[in-house]
């Protein structure tokens, strides 16, 4: 794995700011911005997937049982999943230090 781009010195910036590793943006764990995280109540979840459909980061995925979770490396806590959820089973929980 190449050096983390965020640690490059100016001399190491690739010519023209061109990045030649496809999907390398996955290395940026932008979930650090989040101030709230979505919590699914599996008692009420009907596994319809509307949360995954609306997630603007495409970071909501199913587990092996078909229930949904957010990948917290990328989830920014926008709460769109909670807003769109038909059964209201997603609650936003503040991230506390």
Partner 1 sequence: MGKRKGVESSIALADSAAMCRIEAIAAYPITPQTHIVEHLSEWVNDGHLDAEFVPVESEHSAMSAALGMSAVGARTFTATSSQGLALMHEILFIAPAMRLPIVMAVANRSLSGPISIWNDHSDIMTDRDIGWVQIFAENGQECFDLVPACFRVAEDKRVVLPTILNFDGFVVSHMIEPIEFWTQEQFDAYLPPFDPQIKLDVRKPVAMGAVGIPEIYYEARLAQQNALLNAKAVVVEAFAELEKMVGRKYNLVETYKADDADAILYLMGSLSETAMTAVDNLRKQGKKVGLVRPRLWRPFPTQELLAAFGNVPVVGVCDRALAFGHEHHMVAQEIRTLFYDAPNRPKLVEFVIGLGGRDVTIGDMEHILNRLLEVKNGAPVGPVEYVGVRK
The 3-state secondary structure of 69-90 reads EECCCCCCCCCHHHHHCCCCCE
- Residue in the structure block whose two tokens are 């965020």: 6
Under rule CB under 8 A, residue 8 binds partner 1? yes
CA distances from 23 to 20, 26, 28, 29, 75 (A): 9, 6, 10, 13, 17
Q: What residues from 15 to 54 belong to the interface with partner 1 (CB under 8 A)?
A: 15-20, 22, 25
28 versus 62: smaller Cβ distance to partner 1: 28
Least Å distance between CB 22 and partner 1?
5
The answer to the question of residue 72 lying near partner 1 (CB under 8 A) is no
Binding positions for partner 1, rule: CB under 8 A: 5-6, 8-13, 15-20, 22, 25
């Amino acid at each position: 794995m190449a050096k983390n781009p965020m640690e490059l010195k100016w001399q190491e910036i690739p010519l023209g700011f061109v990045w030649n590793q496809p999907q390398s943006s996955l290395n940026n764990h932008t979930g650090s911005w989040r101030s709230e995280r979505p919590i699914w109540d599996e008692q009420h979840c009907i596994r319809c997937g509307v949360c995954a459909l609306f997630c603007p980061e495409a970071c909501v995925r199913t587990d092996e049982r078909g229930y949904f979770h957010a990948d917290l490396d990328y989830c920014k806590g926008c709460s769109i999943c909670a807003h769109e959820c038909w059964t209201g089973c997603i609650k936003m929980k503040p991230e506390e230090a």
